[in-house]
Amino acid sequence: MQNAEKVQNCARVLQSKLPRGFRPEIGLILGTGLGGIVEAVDDRVCIPYGGLPDFPVSGAPSHEGRFVAGRMSGVPVLVQQGRCHLYEGRSAAEVAAGVRVTALCGAGSLIVANAAGALHPRFESGTLMLIDDHINCTGASPLTGPDVGSGDGPRFPDMSRPYDPEYIRLAEDTALRLALRLEKGVYVGVAGPQLETRAETRMYRMLGGDAVGMSTVVEVIAAVQAGLRVLGFSCLTNRNLPDCMAPVAVEEIIAVAETVGADLRALLCALLPRLR
């Protein structure tokens, strides 16, 4: 479970660095190759993770490692430009720290975005997938540990609908209005950092997965426990087809994610005012 004192202290310091009276309505977490989306945030105030007490600093490529506060299409947002991961040796509680801090700063909703490999044979690389559900194959949970009554939320949160159905409907409708291709499917979260073998890819597909990546599920569990409404997107950067697997380098993944990020940025700019 989260160390409540550390998270509350971190949130207090972050709030002291935000503009006077600023209260975010929506939190965003931007993953690999997606940091450029913050260019759509007006009146930006940037707070590096390293300047916050006990907050984990990301060491992953293309993760800037800072909070960005401002307005996106007029909506007050608090953005995590980069995240930390289990594969960096972080605990699940550390991975979820940004979600806890965002909730304490006043946000009622969270949008998570990641780069992922497509598992569904009809999903193309370079496209967006709306996350309808997830499978946690990381072996970790931010809720593990003694129940210390920290006020994080229910000990056994219901996970039957972790991604808000109304938000999903609005995202689909907005993408249709913008003529953006938007797949919908199940995200499989794994610990990484190694990419998947052919056999693992086949297994994840048999489990019902449509995309696979190394983030998101731990954050979403914490968000659901905290009572946040959640929406999730995967930028599909490569195709994981077990019978014809092609080698892929992280540089290629980042490059494709940056390209898909332009579509995600357009979608978010049109969607955010509809989530209020």
Closest-CA residue to 236 (of 139, 122, 81)? 122
Fold for domain 4-275?
Rossmann fold (3.40.50)
**Beta-carbon count within 10 A of 166 CB:** 11
Cα angle value 258/213/195 (rounded, 5°): 100
Q: Write down the pLDDT at residue 2.
A: 66
For the stretch 180-233, pLDDT in tens is 999 999 999 999 999 999 999 999 999 999 999 999 999 999 999 999 999 999
pLDDT: is 239 or 107 the higher one?
107
pLDDT: is 1 or 247 the higher one?
247
Per-residue three-class SS string for 31-90: CCCCHHHHHHCEEEEEEEHHHCCCCCCCCCCCCCCEEEEEEECCEEEEEEECCCCHHHCC
153 within 8 A of 84, measured Cβ to Cβ: no
- d(CA 216, CA 111) in angstroms, rounded, equals 10
For the stretch 119-149, pLDDT in tens is 999 999 999 999 999 999 999 999 998 876 6
User: CA torsion sign, 194 to 92 to 50 to 63?
Assistant: positive
**Beta-carbon count within 10 A of 72 CB:** 23
Q: Write down the pLDDT at residue 140.
A: 97
- The pair of three-digit structure tokens given for residue 64, joined into one six-digit string: 């800037």
Q: Write down the pLDDT at residue 153.
A: 87
| pLDDT tops 80 at residue 47 | yes
The model's confidence at residue 59, banded by pLDDT at 50, 70 and 90, is confident
Write down the domain spans for the chain.
4-275
For the stretch 72-100, pLDDT in tens is 999 999 999 999 999 999 999 999 999 99
- d(CA 168, CA 266) in angstroms, rounded, equals 16
- d(CA 228, CA 162) in angstroms, rounded, equals 9
pLDDT: is 184 or 32 the higher one?
184
| pLDDT tops 90 at residue 251 | no
Q: Write down the pLDDT at residue 151.
A: 67
- d(CA 84, CA 60) in angstroms, rounded, equals 7
- d(CA 63, CA 126) in angstroms, rounded, equals 19
Q: Write down the pLDDT at residue 233.
A: 98
- The pair of three-digit structure tokens given for residue 44, joined into one six-digit string: 């930006």
Q: Tell me what the mean pLDDT of segment 147-155 comes to.
A: 74
| pLDDT tops 60 at residue 1 | no
1 within 8 A of 144, measured Cβ to Cβ: yes
Q: Write down the pLDDT at residue 110.
A: 98
